Amino acid sequence: MPHKLNQPLTSKFDEALQLASHLHREQARKGTQIPYVSHVLAVAAIVLDYGGTETQAIAALLHDAVEDCGGRPMLAKIEAQFGSEVAAIVESCTDSFEEGPKRDWNERKEEHLQHLRNCDSASLIVVAADKLHNLTAIERDLGQLGATLWSRFNATPDLQRWYYNAVIEILKERLDNPIVVSLMGIYDQVRPQMTA
């Protein structure tokens, strides 16, 4: 018999699930036919698995909405519908607020790392879950595609390695959650293959 939750998810989670599905419905994961919504569902599941709150799980469902679906106006919509805490977490997961072509990858990632060093700690479990799912997908696809996998990304494997390493160092310092150990474990599997 299943145990009862102390704090069950509310209809706000349902709303976020519906919005995420609507926003990402026609998108696929980079270089694949996998529906993009699978990523946000996985990130939300990981957040909940590692003890995250409903607020963090809602932000996980919407963590790519600003970057991929409307920039700052989308962030304002998320804040109006789900509150400032969700919006702040989504903002911490976003490295591009402009619609249309994105700025230089290095510049965006440097800014994002600086933000992660100072953002509210509630954001960090969502950031960790996002990176954990991304690295899990990379590990799976490396097994099937080998080094050709890297051609689907906007940055070289060396730059990817630098970025993931920097994010993990920040999380090790700022996030007291077993998710960091899981993230380090998958990164250790992928890192040796992060070469051009």
* CATH number reported for the structural domain that contains residue 166 in this entry: 1.10.3210.10
Instruction: Flag the least confident range among 45-54, 94-103, 110-119, 133-142.
Output: 94-103
Query: For the chain, how many structural domains are there in total?
Result: 1
The whole-number average pLDDT for the span 122-144 is: 95
The residue among 31 and 75 whose pLDDT is bigger is 75
d(CA 139, CA 133): 10
Q: Answer whether residue 121 is part of any domain.
A: yes
54-61 vs 37-49: helix crossing angle, rounded to 10: 160
The whole-number average pLDDT for the span 142-165 is: 91
Beta bridge mates, 151: none
Domain extent, residue 152, equals 11-193
d(CA 146, CA 4): 44
- Threshold 0.85, pTM exceeds: yes
The CB-side HSE value for 161 (13 A sphere, CA atoms) comes to: 13
Q: Answer whether residue 5 is part of any domain.
A: no
Q: Answer whether residue 176 is part of any domain.
A: yes
Residue 1 has pLDDT above 70, yes or no: no
CB 39 within 8 A of CB 61: no
Task: Give percent above pLDDT 70 in the chain.
Answer: 94
Q: What are phi and psi of 62, to 5 degrees?
A: -110, 10
Q: Answer whether residue 25 is part of any domain.
A: yes
d(CA 68, CA 158): 24
pLDDT number for residue 154: 84
Q: Answer whether residue 2 is part of any domain.
A: no
Closest CA to 172 of 163, 162, 183: 183
How confident is the model over 28-64, as pLDDT tens digits? 888 888 999 999 999 999 999 999 999 999 999 999 9
Q: Answer whether residue 1 is part of any domain.
A: no
